[in-house]
Amino acid sequence: MAPKITLEVPEDDLKKSLEEYRLYALRLGATDAAIVTTDIIIIDERVVAKCAYPKCVGYGTSANCPPHAMGVDQMRKVVDRFRYGIFVKIEVPPHDIAGKEATKKTRTPYQKKIAEIVSKIEARAFYDGYHLAVGFGSGSCKRIFCPDVECTALIPGKSCPHLYKARSSMEAVGMDAFTMSARVGWDIYPIGRSTSSEEIPHGLMLGLVLVY
């Protein structure tokens, strides 16, 4: 029998569920996963500004990217209603994310994997009775799922063909994923066009599921 929605979840049951989701993330392919309290989530307008300056190729092209994604003020209100989440990472080999060897083709599989992990944890939490669970991925969903077509979710009367996988990235809603990673003890490095793959031990793809 499916779990029913309850007015309050006993703390022991909640912590058991969170640990199950953390282990589930590892089984799905995450390099690591952490149970986090929402006070580690940093929402900063400057993060969204970095989507626009210099403008990301995904800016304005999908329903899950700025300026269409949920704004930072609304996101703060959402986060304030949650207590716990599952923070996940995939470590990316340096040559797949930095230097001349790195391309969209080498990065995208890791972004797809994060999207898969986030969506499956979100779905499992939903069916376990945490019906308001919501996830956030890494990178533009358009570049991951629909690189060569217009985002149908922006067309009146149509919806996303990848409804259960496509999510806003953490950055798209203003989450400072870099500082959050440092807060949980994960090494993270600024990687740009000038970064050599020899300068970093790995890159990170990050995702977050707010559970309860």
pLDDT tens profile 75-131: 999 999 999 999 999 999 999 999 988 998 999 999 999 999 999 999 999 999 999
pLDDT band at 56 (very low <50, low <70, confident <90, very high): very high
- pLDDT tens across 180-196, in order? 999 999 999 999 989 99
Among the listed residues 54, 61, 81, 34, the one whose alpha carbon sits nearest the alpha carbon of residue 177: 34
pLDDT score for 73: 98
Task: Render 108-143 in DSSP notation, one character per residue.
Answer: HHHHHHHHHHHHHHHHHHHHTT-TT-EEEBSS-HHH
Q: Residue range 157-184: average pLDDT?
A: 96
pLDDT for 1 beyond 90: no
Amino acid at residue number 147: P
DSSP notation for 67-105: TTSPPHHHHHHHHHT--EEEEEEEEE-HHHHSSTT--HH
The pTM of the full predicted model, rounded to 2 decimals, is 0.96
Contacts of 16 (CB under 8 A, 6+ apart): none
